[in-house]
Amino acid sequence: MTFRSISRFGQYLRYASGFSPSRFGSVFNENRRSVTYMPRPGDGSPRAVTLIPGDGIGPLVTGAVQQIMEAMHAPLYFETYEVHGDMTSVPQEVIDSIRRNKVCLKGGLATPVGGGVSSLNVQLRKELDLYASLVNCFNLPGLPTRHENVDIVVIRENTEGEYSGLEHEVVPGVVESLKVMTKFCSERIAKYAFEYAYLNNRKKVTAVHKANIMKLADGLFLESCREVATKYPGIKYNEIIVDNCCMQLVSKPEQFDVMVTPNLYGNLVANTAAGIAGGTGVMPGGNVGQDHAVFEQGASAGNVGNDKQVEQKKANPVALLLSSAMMLRHLQFPSFADRLETAVKGVIAQGKYMTKDLGGSSNTQEVVDAVIAQLD
């Protein structure tokens, strides 16, 4: 979708205003906000977003997002680039596009196991300094799970720790892998977690660690969290060892609110929490730094799918659709984000159009059509 032509731009203005003839009668509907978002002049101009379809089911689910954005007449257009996990590096033109647009939406990139090829996901995070990963794991009405009242936000440090990539073979048969922790990175992820909790009316931040064993590295992380916590007296702060955390997650997940973690623990905790709340196919997420943001499926498990899903075109687009709603809010288009999120939740609540991972038999396009039909 683009808004490059004058005719399409005029169409966008008509829909963005909310005063098209067919909708005029509902403007003062009691369900609408009494105090609305007031944009600054020019905020409605179409925004360019870098799009990386990725590997496996990536093109299917990013294609779903494109269809729904077009149906919504959302004020954005995509610059699409082909990037695949078996490349040696992210092409410079892609990095330049994200730097220019500030925002990227991407499908999963397969990371080869073993060998000398590094993860392009990690490369992107380091190149753009996307130091905070955020995954929101919550119950969706209409989607049965073992636990109720789950609403967990996992905020993970994204640039160091075990993902520093500093490994070497000391002598044949002996490999050394370095876990790097710095005061700077630990402090800024703690600040981000508490700031997120403060801005979103969250009540508690839990730091996840293994400082009983890694006393210096994880000890530094905890020290940073404790210092930041003193600046937010209205937010409860506690700490939990990562192995106990995993046990508590699967037994009483409702006790957690915002969780802040070093790099590796965050990946494990986020995927565990996603599985508890309904599966990785429905959990949104993103990666953010000072200047750039990349939105993708929140939990990494299964984000490229398998050959059968690709052949049958039965990938679940819900996670990336909800991540796109996060992106719309990040771009300061809250009304479009609300419409998209409400439509997706409406489809889940009805339970008629669900992919196999959610207990249904629908394909990707059927879910997309159902979401479009739910758009108000």
pLDDT tens-digit profile of 237-249?
Answer: 999 999 999 999 9
pLDDT at 118 (0 to 100) = 76
The predicted-structure confidence for 184-223, as pLDDT tens digits, reads as follows: 999 999 999 999 999 999 999 999 999 999 999 999 999 9
Pairing between strand 151-157 and 258-261? parallel
Alpha carbons within 13 A on the beta-carbon side of 160: 15
Q: Is a pLDDT exceeding 90 seen at residue 10? A: no
Could you give the CA distance from residue 87 to residue 83 in angstroms, rounded to a whole number? 7
Lowest mean pLDDT among 34-38, 159-163, 313-317, 346-350: 34-38
Lowest mean pLDDT among 29-43, 181-195, 217-231: 29-43
pLDDT at 116 (0 to 100) = 58
Residue 153's pLDDT band, with cuts at 50, 70 and 90, is very high
pLDDT at 30 (0 to 100) = 47
Pairing between strand 204-209 and 167-171? unpaired
Residue 330's pLDDT band, with cuts at 50, 70 and 90, is very high
pLDDT at 304 (0 to 100) = 86
Sheet arrangement for strand 258-261: 76-80, 47-52, 103-106, 293-297, 284-288, 132-138, 151-157, 258-261, 204-209, 236-241
pLDDT at 34 (0 to 100) = 57
pLDDT at 11 (0 to 100) = 42
Pairing between strand 47-52 and 76-80? parallel
pLDDT at 111 (0 to 100) = 82
pLDDT at 49 (0 to 100) = 98
**Mean predicted confidence (pLDDT) in 255-273:** 95
Residue 17's pLDDT band, with cuts at 50, 70 and 90, is very low
* Whole-prediction pTM: 0.87
The predicted-structure confidence for 45-100, as pLDDT tens digits, reads as follows: 999 999 999 999 999 999 999 999 999 999 999 999 999 988 989 999 999 999 99
Lowest mean pLDDT among 115-119, 230-234, 290-294: 115-119
* Cα–Cα separations (whole angstroms), residue 187 to 157, 200, 269: 10, 20, 20
pLDDT at 300 (0 to 100) = 77
Return left, alpha or beta for 43; rule: phi > 0 is left, psi -120 to 50 is alpha, else beta: alpha
Q: Is a pLDDT exceeding 90 seen at residue 367? A: yes
pLDDT at 255 (0 to 100) = 97
